[in-house]
Amino acid sequence: MRKVLIISRCLPPLLDVGGKRAYRFAKYLPMFGWQPIVWTGEIPAGLPLDTFSVELTEGRIERTYYPKWWPQPHLTYTVAQAPIEKPGTAKRFLSSLTTIPLGRDFCLTPRAAIVLGRIIEREQVDAVFATSGPPTCLVYGWLISRLRGIPLCLDFRDPWSLNFLQRRKPLWVQAAEKRIEHFLMREAQRVVFTCQDAAVAYRELYRDLPAEKITTIANSFDPVQRVEPQKSTGPIKLVHFGNCNGPRNLETVIKALAMIQRQGAWPAEGIRLVNFGRVRSTDVDLAATLGLAGAFEYQQAVDTQAGLRYLAASDLQILVNYSNETLYVPAKTFDYLVAGKPILCLSRPSELTSLVEKTGAGRVVDPGDVEGTAAVIMSAIAARNGGAPVSSLNSAEVNCYDARTTAEKLASVLNEMVNV
């Protein structure tokens, strides 16, 4: 069995959604001839954790990503997050002088080369798979592959230079990181994106790269975590599972609930909008202003399996993309698919909306379309009372996102790299 070194800063049992992608690859790659050696971070104390076992039947996990003396990243699962205010001119200028490309983790690059070199010597690794964020993971992967002459696959969970988060950085940092990104993609044997729209955008951005170098492997769901949809009882439940970060918010849903209330269509059993994870304080304030404070419930992030059970007992799963951004298919989408309840997807036309439609998972509404959102919620209310179902899942399409299927695709990419 060949061996692949997987570099991922986070991994379960941390609730960080990015770590789930690396873990699911590691779990199922042995079915297709690849034994994973995962290099990741320690499990910080005092954080809520996933409860399912993360031991690998094949391969191993080494949690030495950070030295013990290095300050750990600040991971928070608080439920209310104040909006990010645009800093003043003086503060932006000072930030431009103190911000460095790739962040402080870049200072650990020499140590990463030493630690990874020892792992490679011990394990006789055949390929390197580095998944971001942070983008320093990609740098670590490139450096060790270059030093050891091992084929490299870079995995962009989200876009880097084309990410909306880049716009907050000083212009010179944006330019420097774009050059680094281009260099790393040129050096790697394969580059993987989770979204075909993002892959197309990057082929257009870097036309000098061979188009076949850039490929797509979607995020996935773990088949062992499937849950059966439950009959909903009590208030009509609208559930959003995960953090409201970046431009993602629940404003349109809250305004739609206010419209339903004004129109006198509020059901006797009531409606409850529930979020598990961070919410925007602006959403909390809006709900209070519109008289919906009692209908908006927000809780700390929960264990994946518990979250799936909440979704499976809902009347409508709320899936919000990043406002007008279209280069993302949120990883939570695939948890929603296995929960089985109808999805209200708020997104511009994109790969995400196509996925929701082709799987028959739910209805798509433009962000900001309050009336359209209210109509889908009313359909869910009617379905609870014996009306037509909001959606009907296409199981064959959903099964394309089984973690075993996506691991097989990654194994094919790794095989192509080492057989060149």
Are 414 and 392 in a shared domain? no
Alpha-carbon gap, residue 363 to 346, rounded angstroms = 9
Please count the CA atoms within 13 angstroms of the CA of 92 that sit on its side-chain side.
11
199 found inside a domain? yes
Are 268 and 197 in a shared domain? no
249 found inside a domain? yes
Are 369 and 411 in a shared domain? no
Backbone angles phi, psi at 290, to 5 degrees: -90, 10
Strand ranges across the sheet with 271-276: 296-299, 271-276, 236-241, 316-320, 343-346, 362-365
Are 306 and 370 in a shared domain? yes
Check residue 75 and give its pLDDT. 62
pTM: 0.91
Which amino acid is located at 33 in the chain? G
Note the pLDDT tens digit of each residue in 375-405: 999 999 999 988 888 888 898 999 999 999 9
Specify the CATH number for the domain of residue 65. Answer: 3.40.50.2000
Q: Which of 245, 305, 233 is nearest to 272 (CA)?
A: 233
Are 245 and 187 in a shared domain? no
Which amino acid is located at 203 in the chain? R
9 found inside a domain? yes
Q: Are 27 and 222 in contact (CB under 8 A)?
A: yes
Domain count, the chain: 2
Check residue 85 and give its pLDDT. 46
Are 236 and 309 in a shared domain? yes
Relative orientation angle of helices 171-187 and 89-98, to the nearest 10 degrees: 40
Check residue 18 and give its pLDDT. 83
Check residue 323 and give its pLDDT. 82
44 found inside a domain? yes
Q: Which of 313, 348, 105, 111 is nearest to 227 (CA)?
A: 313
Are 321 and 231 in a shared domain? yes
Please count the CA atoms within 13 angstroms of the CA of 398 that sit on its side-chain side.
20
Are 296 and 376 in a shared domain? yes
86 found inside a domain? no
Burial class (CB within 10 angstroms; exposed 0-12, middle 13-18, buried 19+) of 82: exposed
Extract the residue ranges of the chain whose pLDDT is less than 70: 73-98, 420
Q: Beta strands of 194-235 (E only): which ranges?
A: 214-216
Q: Which two tokens stand for residue 184?
A: 């790393």
- The 3-state DSSP class for residue 50 equals coil
Are 211 and 232 in a shared domain? no
Q: Could you tell me the residue range of the domain that residue 9 belongs to?
A: 2-77+105-220+402-419
Q: Which of 127, 132, 123, 122 is nearest to 32 (CA)?
A: 127
**Residue 157 to residues 195, 266, 349, 350, 367, Cα–Cα distance (Å):** 9, 40, 20, 17, 23
Are 198 and 311 in a shared domain? no
Check residue 84 and give its pLDDT. 44
350 found inside a domain? yes
- The 3-state DSSP class for residue 11 equals coil
Are 286 and 330 in a shared domain? yes
Are 181 and 279 in a shared domain? no
193 found inside a domain? yes
96 found inside a domain? no
